[in-house]
Chains A and B, each alone.
Chain A
Amino acid sequence: DVKVTQSSRYLVKRTGEKVFLECVQDMDHENMFWYRQDPGLGLRLIYFSYDVKMKEKGDIPEGYSVSREKKERFSLILESASTNQTSMYLCASSLVMSGGNNEQFFGPGTRLTVL
């Protein structure tokens, strides 16, 4: 059974803290993604990676960075957390980036609250 796991389901941090969200996939997928999901705004892409050490900005990269040192692991970093980064964060992976077979497999999400 394919699996994407995220390090925490719930996280509470204070403004200004550095936050690490970890994502691991066991499907040997090349592509990994970080989204945030907010009511009324849907899923928004923060960053994605199509290979180890490669990263591309998504639609809302400001205030975030990422790290992909190993194929199976993709980390999202909030350098200095702010209250407007309170959200549900979803990690996903896919085998390919385009075409009919590019199903995205999502992790269970991390609900981050920044106080």
Chain B
Amino acid sequence: RKEVEQDPGPFNVPEGATVAFNCTYSNSASQSFFWYRQDCRKEPKLLMSVYSSGNEDGRFTAQLNRASQYISLLIRDSKLSDSATYLCVVNRDDKIIFGKGTRLHILP
């Protein structure tokens, strides 16, 4: 089993809709969690950290479920500019593990 797994998608979602995707991790010793965003032909950039209590940044909400070992990302009122690949990142000790990403297409 891979240490970090994501549904590759693509998720094709109409503009204005709400979309959510999950990322599962296999090692219960994982300590910190992040979502990165990667636009086509660009480098990944940090979107948000994921805290145990859950956190929100505008239209984006991230949640961590340690019992079931997954993190989630919810995007409300999706915009065309949200089209990107979303990478789940898990940190354990000094190891940083990237998921392969979930592709999101927002349709006009």
A residues contacting B by CB (< 8 A) are: 33, 35, 40-43, 45, 50, 90, 97-100, 102-104, 106-109
> Complex Cα distance A78/B34, Å?
31
> Complex Cα distance A97/B97, Å?
12
**Are A42's CB and B100's CB within 8 A?**
yes
Known: A98-B91, A99-B91, A100-B49. A43 touches B31 (CB 8 A): no
**Size of the chain B interface, CB-CB below 8 angstroms:** 22
Please pick, from B32, B36, B42, B87, the residue contacting A100 in the complex, using a CB distance under 8 A: B32
B residues contacting A by CB (< 8 A) are: 8, 31-32, 34, 36, 42-46, 49, 51, 87, 89, 91, 93-94, 96, 98-101
Q: What are the residues of chain B within 8 A of A97 when measuring CB–CB?
A: 94, 96
**Are B43's CB and A106's CB within 8 A?**
yes
Shortest CB distance B45–A (Å): 7
**Are B43's CB and A108's CB within 8 A?**
yes
**Are A106's CB and B32's CB within 8 A?**
no
Binding site secondary structure of chain B: strand
Q: What are the residues of chain B within 8 A of A43 when measuring CB–CB?
A: 44, 87, 98
Shortest CB distance A100–B (Å): 5
**Are B43's CB and A109's CB within 8 A?**
yes
30 A-B pairs within 8 Å (CB atoms) are namely A33-B96, A40-B8, A41-B100, A42-B87, A42-B98, A42-B99, A42-B101, A43-B87, A45-B96, A90-B44, A97-B94, A98-B31, A98-B32, A98-B94, A99-B31, A99-B32, A99-B91, A100-B32, A100-B51, A102-B91, A103-B34, A104-B36, A104-B44, A104-B46, A104-B89, A106-B44, A106-B45, A107-B43, A108-B43, A109-B42
